[in-house]
Amino acid sequence: MSASAVHSLWTTAADPISKIEAPKIEYGQLSPILIVLGAALVGILVEAFAPRRVRYHAQLLLSAVALCAAFAAIVALAADGYGTTKAHIAAMGALAVDGPALFLQGTILLAGLVALFTFAERRLDPDPHGHRTDSFVAQAAAVPGSDSEKAAVRAGFTTTEVFPLLLFAVAGMLVFPAANDLLTLFIALEVFSLPLYLMCALARRKRLLSQEAAVKYFLLGAFASAFTLFGIALLYGYAGSVSYATIARVVDGTVTTVNPALVDTMGNDALLLIGAAMIVMGLLFKVGAVPFHMWTPDVYQGAPTPLTGFMAAATKVAAFGALLRLLYVVLPGLRWDWRPVMWAVAIITMLGGAIVAITQTDVKRLLAYSSIAHAGFILAGVIATTPDGVSSVLFYLAAYSFVTIGAFAVVTLVRDAGGEATHLSKWAGLGRRSPLVAAVFAVFLLAFAGIPLTSGFAGKFAVFKAAAEGGAAPLVVVGVISSAIAAFFYIRVIVLMFFSEPRQDGPTVAVPSLLTSTAIGVGVAVTLVLGVAPQYFLNLANQAGIFVR
Amino acid sequence: MNPVNYLYLAALLFTIGATGVLIRRNAIVVFMCVELMLNACNLAFVTFSRMHGNLDGQIIAFFTMVVAAAEVVVGLAIIVSLFRSRHSASVDDASLMKL
């Protein structure tokens, strides 16, 4: 008797399960994300199995190769026409492969690569035991000031886990602006947020500040993502689906198949309005727009400075990408409701960021408030609701992210006995002591201020022009006024650096290795190129400005 | 029973959680309140799933549980390290940074 015949003595075959169709995944088009995620997983294996002395070089090489390969994949996809004619929705409706997604993913990858160089810098902090140490803690589990911490420092440990964590964060950020359903949006949000929370707590110097920043960021971030999730639940309840296209059809009232349950919930505008508001709130939190900006200065100040640069640049790019897609693809039918709200948010963000920045005395907090003001400028472009608005936001994000990483990289160079000397009074006379570093920082500050011939001017001009043409002229007036306020404190720092006497106990300027030099050099180069000859990149952003739905 | 009542319950739980986050001072309790908010979301998802007769909401509830578990891992690691260096998990004591 055969085995199956024996088996059939005491079992009866159930009806065959109706065929489950295997999902169709376009691996080629998702390759940028898959490469980065795969490298992050390999990075964890390196942590587990490679001996300590080879980890740093292995991780650095692995991360750099992965980010370069992913960027090459993006370029190949864009050259293949996926940004324009072949734009479509991949992975069973989960991810969009279109112009804005590819443009923002490319920006995030390049920003991640430049940030990786600042992460890997090991020459700034002279170690009394002769080891080469980076900006990250020797052993995160050791209590600050304890014997175990001293032992870890003496042994020359470094936290090379930051490299896979960086890759995980980058992977989440790649998915975030491309997410084409609300579930993917939420998962991507968490995938890039959790590594950032962890890395916040890993500063080598001033560890109490760093841990405090991590707790604040984590609790507020989890609070905000709970709001996002409840908003997603309400929108799901409203439309009966989490897919962007379906929700957009239900919002427009052009839905084709209507069942009784949908008729019931479709009529309930409270679900739609509250749900959309809660999701947008979560995204505005990540962007750092007033009134959801409270975490920004504390977290930017406490986090390790290379991470601050990465967060300030890449998180903003990813979150604005997701915000644009949500507002332009899912909620265009609701724009008469969200535009006034976003007007108000943009105005208080621009003015609030610029005005509070004047009172700051710490250079990292100053840059944090400046990043809040910049979020307001970008929001002005989001409100335009025109194709020009999209492309100007894309351009602004690309220009802004390199300036930011460069500026924070310069902050890592100015040091005293306690680590980085971030108090502004210590920067007095830096231009006399170290003209090159001060001049580079001045270039970045001028770009933040939007002075012509820097990328900041080209970006601001594009955003304000789009906003004015989109019927938001008063917003442009507010934007110009707050730019003027912001220019005041940028110029004040420049004056402080060049026209005041250096202090006796002033900081020293560390000589960086090739890594940080590259990061700063790229920042300056992008700032000047985008400022002097922005046309090519504006055209690129223009071509990439159409969402697929 | 009318499924809408479960939505009211979900909204109530969410509000209790949000209020807890705002008024409690212990980081662990604040974090538990966030978890309560996530579970309120789960209840809303499952209820809407039942109302619409599709399974999306139930699937999302599973994803939310996984995310909540991952958040616990990261969150407790951060809160415990803060507690070990300060011997306090109060969010008011953690105020080295001021405006």
Structure tokens at A82: 């996926």
What mean pLDDT, rounded, does chain A reach?
Answer: 92
Which pLDDT belongs to residue A202? 95
Per-residue H/E/C for A503-525: CCCCCEECCCCHHHHHHHHHHHH
Q: How far apart are CA A102 and CA A95, in angstroms?
A: 11
Which pLDDT belongs to residue A309? 96
Q: Are strands A419-420 and A414-416 parallel, antiparallel or unpaired?
A: antiparallel
What mean pLDDT, rounded, does chain B reach?
Answer: 92
Side chain identity at residue B45, one-letter code:
F
Residues of B in contact with A303 (CB under 8 A): none
List, in order, residues 6 or more apart from A534 with CB less than 8 Å away.
Answer: A395, A455, A458, A462
Q: Does residue A185 belong to the interface with chain B, where contact is any CB pair within 8 Å?
A: no
Q: What is the pLDDT of residues A148-205, one digit of tens each?
A: 999 999 998 999 999 999 999 999 999 999 999 999 999 999 999 999 999 999 999 8
Q: What is the chain B residue with the closest CA to A183?
A: B60
* B99, pLDDT greater than 60: no
Q: How far apart are CA A135 and CA A68, in angstroms?
A: 23
Q: What is the pLDDT of residues A17-48, one digit of tens each?
A: 677 788 889 999 999 999 999 999 999 999 99
Of B10, B67, B77, the CB nearest to A190: B67
> Which of B49, B56, B95 to mutate to test binding with chain A, by most A CBs within 10 Å of its CB?
B56
- Averaged pLDDT, A403-416: 94
Which pLDDT belongs to residue B84? 92
Q: Does residue A295 belong to the interface with chain B, where contact is any CB pair within 8 Å?
A: no
For residue A446, give Cα distances in angstroms to A79, A429, A487: 34, 18, 8
* A463, pLDDT greater than 90: yes
Q: Is the pTM of this model over 0.90?
A: yes
Max CA pair span of chain B: 52
Name the band, by pLDDT with cuts 50, 70 and 90, for residue B98. low
Which pLDDT belongs to residue A17? 66
Q: How far is CA A255 from its chain centroid? A: 34
Phi, psi (deg, nearest 5) at residue A142: -75, 135
Of A230, A241, A242, the CB nearest to B40: A230
Chain-chain contact of A208 with B96 (C-beta, under 8 angstroms):
yes
Interface of A with B in 114-173 (CB under 8 A): 140-141, 143-145
Query: Which residue has 């001049």 as its token pair?
Result: A439
Chain-chain contact of A226 with B56 (C-beta, under 8 angstroms):
no
User: How many Å from the N-terminal Cα to the C-terminal Cα in chain B?
Assistant: 52
Query: Which residue has 């538990």 as its token pair?
Result: B32
* CA of B79 vs chain A CAs: smallest distance (Å): 6
Q: Contacts for B6-9 with beta carbons within 8 Å, 24 or more apart?
A: B6/B43, B6/B44, B6/B46, B6/B47, B7/A237, B7/B44, B7/B47, B7/B48, B9/B43
Q: Does residue A186 belong to the interface with chain B, where contact is any CB pair within 8 Å?
A: yes
Q: What is the pLDDT of residues A200-219, one digit of tens each?
A: 999 998 999 999 999 999 99
Of A198, A218, A261, the CB nearest to B51: A261
> Which of A168, A189, A223, A242 to mutate to test binding with chain B, by most B CBs within 10 Å of its CB?
A223
Which DSSP category does A201 fall into? Answer: T
Q: Among 1.10.287.3510, 3.90.1150.10, 3.40.630.10, 1.10.3720.10, what is the CATH number of B4-86? A: 1.10.287.3510
Which pLDDT belongs to residue A263? 84
Q: Does residue A301 belong to the interface with chain B, where contact is any CB pair within 8 Å?
A: yes
* A453, pLDDT greater than 80: yes
Name the band, by pLDDT with cuts 50, 70 and 90, for residue A16. low
Of B68, B66, B61, the residue nearest B31 (C-alpha): B68
Q: Does residue B54 belong to the interface with chain A, where contact is any CB pair within 8 Å?
A: yes
Which pLDDT belongs to residue A549? 83
- Averaged pLDDT, A530-544: 92
Structure tokens at A86: 């072949």
Point out the least confidently predicted range of A116-120, A428-432, B37-41.
A428-432
Which pLDDT belongs to residue B22? 94
Q: What is the chain B residue with the closest CA to A229?
A: B41
* CA of B48 vs chain A CAs: smallest distance (Å): 5
Name the band, by pLDDT with cuts 50, 70 and 90, for residue A485. very high
Which pLDDT belongs to residue A68? 97
Q: What is the chain A residue with the closest CA to B62?
A: A183
Which DSSP category does A176 fall into? Answer: G
Which pLDDT belongs to residue A15? 67
Q: What is the pLDDT of residues A84-130, one digit of tens each?
A: 889 999 998 899 999 999 999 999 999 999 999 999 999 888 777 88
Chain-chain contact of A237 with B18 (C-beta, under 8 angstroms):
no
Answer whether A47's CB lies under 8 Å from A161's CB: yes
Which pLDDT belongs to residue A490? 94
ipTM of the complex: 0.97
Query: Which residue has 């003496």 as its token pair?
Result: A154
For A362, the 3-state DSSP assignment is: strand
